[in-house]
Chains A and B, each alone.
Chain A
Amino acid sequence: MNRQKIAKAIYKLDAWLESMRNEQGYTGPISHWWASCLLYSGPMIDWRYEGIISGYLNLHRITQNTRWLSRAITAGDDICQAQLPSGKFFNSSFQVGPIEGGTPHEAAVDVALLELATYLKEMNDDRWEKYYRTAGLNLKEYYLSELWQGEAFLDQHWNNTLVPNKNATAIEALLLYQTLSGDSMETYVFKAVEVIFRGQVLDNSLRHGGVVHLGTGKHQLAIGIYTARIVGAMVRLYEQYPNPEYRRSFQAMGEFLLRLINEHGTYFGYYPHGKLIRCPNWISPSGDVLRALLVLQPHMNIPQNKIEQLVKVLFTNQHASGGIATAYKLDKKGAKYLLKSELPDFRDVLPVVGWCDKTFRALTLLATAEAMNSALSEIGHNSYHEMDCTWNKQLCLYVEDTKEIHLTAVDGKKTLYQWRKGEWYPKIYRL
């Protein structure tokens, strides 16, 4: 594995993430499977902070360069400033749009804060308490008071669906909180893990090992990126409570994830009866798949070529601006066939902070101090990126630099979309 290339990709991602900030935090439009949020583009305190803070902490751990710790602290301060009187976080609902109470986003934000608090506490830095208190308030006032219903954490207080990956992120936050506070969270953790077991497919089919997103109702979709997020939680749980059942479960998830990796990213998942969902093929969200494979390595055989294949996809799709494309064929969502000759959709090429953080975090797990130091001198300043894509079957030109994202219909040269980085809404929206 070329560590130098990994280090360069990390520096470019760092520069891109900085370009997406305003005074309140990280901004930007969002594309996703469920829906895309292309109008509101202002600050959101959602799961983007998990990958950003964990990634910067990984870099500081490896290099001891204070630049990285200071980035993590700045991100932690964004969150603390955005905590609402209810304990929830301002505009935490990612693709749903500007509204608080997003799941698993608020738990993911807690994971970020608690990882930061743990790291600072280990360094005898008193600032840890601020981040610990902010996460503790959210967990107690929102997760334990509003979302806990005796059996598991609800999707929302008004929605009885029990979503496995959302419970998994809550488990991660509670395990971190338990370690820092000394208060037992076992009652919640051991019940929430049952939701994951109930959602996991163990039938020796192609879906074997995948976890069904129970919020997809009759569609019963076994989704790769959500299964990957569960792996992170299950491995963390197993390391504290070495129950062989957990190990068997995450090993099966690992096998499922390996089946989804392809030369262009990771397939979305499977329909019931083992039909593969090829569209969208995830790119930057596959960072969570890469992270899952890396944390699984001590526990099962993960072929190195699969990791290298995924890293290569991420490199290939990194824009000159540093951001990484989200997917291929979000406009054909749910399709079982992928025509690789078609141009990507605007939403595909759009880099999204709440997806790129996942790639950023995963790549930092592969970084070395030596490569990070030597790559520093090679970082260039070219951040202009342009490529063809489509919107509603029109041929378009996507352009991004440090200041803005711009989409123009080639025929007629009409601007369809223009967003100045850091702004709360696009300047032009004609999609």
Chain B
Amino acid sequence: MKTPFDPYAIYNHYSLEIACYWLHQKQPQSIRLCTDNADIVIAIARRLMWTKQLIVETENIVTALQNHLNLKTTLYQPNMVVEAAFVPFSRQMYPIQPIAQWLVVVGENSFSYKSLLYPGQVGDNVFALKSWFEKRYRITDKVSLLEPYSMLRWSIASLAGSRFPSIHFQMGQRALDNIYVRNYLWWSGYIIVMIGEQIYEQAKNR
């Protein structure tokens, strides 16, 4: 969906949080942020300032990060070796998967409630995303956000409204407490987040 990036939106905030948590677990010394959207890069960079080197795709983004966060970053050059790559809502910009030891991807899923609200406007789907990912990487963890149960809880919270406020608040709380879905319904969430290790790296490590 081509709308301006909203860093406060629940699906953006929570998807970037889990992705950055996974990256933090791996402790890469260099992370390439694979998108040309400066707003998304700024939202991610705030979470990744513990790493030694952040690598970005355009001069404009280097400047935006310097101006916005006072943060020095490196412009990506072909054949540059990076330990981790992060593809946030930009999978379709990369017909060939970026090369790194670890890849994290965040993408939308048209097999979700969102397509009921905005038919034809969700540009990616979980199966295409997974297939693209697995060409070079083996998935080590995956979650989705805003699957049907989660949307049901939000809907009940919304219907309860101010007439039944304690139901409203408790249902909203339960929806947030269960926002990351790993069970059999993970494929039906609006946002998909995956991390994986490059297959070649795995073979090398064996």
Contact = CB atoms under 8 A, between A and B. Distances in A.
A39 interface: yes
Contacts of A35: 176
Contacts of B70: 84-85
A281 interface: no
B129 to A, nearest CB: 22
Interface in A88-103: 90-91, 96-100
A91 B46 contact: yes
B25 interface: yes
Nearest to A424: B50
A387 interface: no
B177 A392 contact: yes
Given A84-B68, A86-B68, A97-B13, A425 B170 contact: no
A86 B69 CA distance: 9
Nearest to B168: A334
Contact of B69 (A84, A331, A423): A84
A96 B8 contact: yes
A429 interface: yes
Nearest to B167: A334
B160 to A, nearest CB: 10
Given A85-B68, A98-B47, A426 B21 contact: yes
Contact of B67 (A85, A220, A331, A335): A85
Contact of A39 (B8, B21, B166, B170): B21
Contacts of A140: none
Given A35-B176, A333-B173, A424-B24, A218 B162 contact: yes
Contacts of B165: 219, 271, 334
B150 to A, nearest CB: 14
Given A40-B47, A219-B165, A333 B21 contact: no
**Which of B7, B18, B43, B162 is packed against the most chain A CB atoms within 10 Å?**
B162
Contacts of B161: 218
Interface SS majority for chain A: loop
Contacts of B24: 423-425
Contacts of B59: none
Contacts, number: 70
A97 B173 CA distance: 17
A351 interface: no
Interface in A120-176: none
Contacts of B169: 333-334
B94 to A, nearest CB: 25
A336 interface: yes
A299 interface: no
Interface residues of B, number: 29
A91 B69 CA distance: 10
B17 interface: yes
A427 B166 CA distance: 34
**Which of A85, A91, A334 is packed against the most chain B CB atoms within 10 Å?**
A334
Interface residues of A, number: 33
B173 A40 contact: no
A209 interface: no
Contacts of B20: 39-40, 425
Interface string B1-44: 00000011000010001101100110000000000000000010
Contacts of A84: 68-70
B4 to A, nearest CB: 11
A271 B97 CA distance: 53
A313 B5 CA distance: 44
A332 interface: yes
Contacts of A336: 166
Nearest to A100: B46
A219 B162 contact: yes
A425 B68 contact: no
Sorted nearest first, the 10 A-B pairs with minimum C-beta distance are A334-B169, A425-B24, A218-B162, A39-B17, A334-B166, A98-B46, A425-B21, A424-B50, A333-B169, A39-B21
Given A40-B47, A424-B24, 4 more contacts: A98-B46, A332-B170, A333-B170, A334-B173
13 contacts: A39-B17, A42-B49, A84-B68, A84-B69, A84-B70, A91-B46, A96-B13, A97-B13, A218-B161, A219-B162, A219-B168, A392-B177, A423-B24
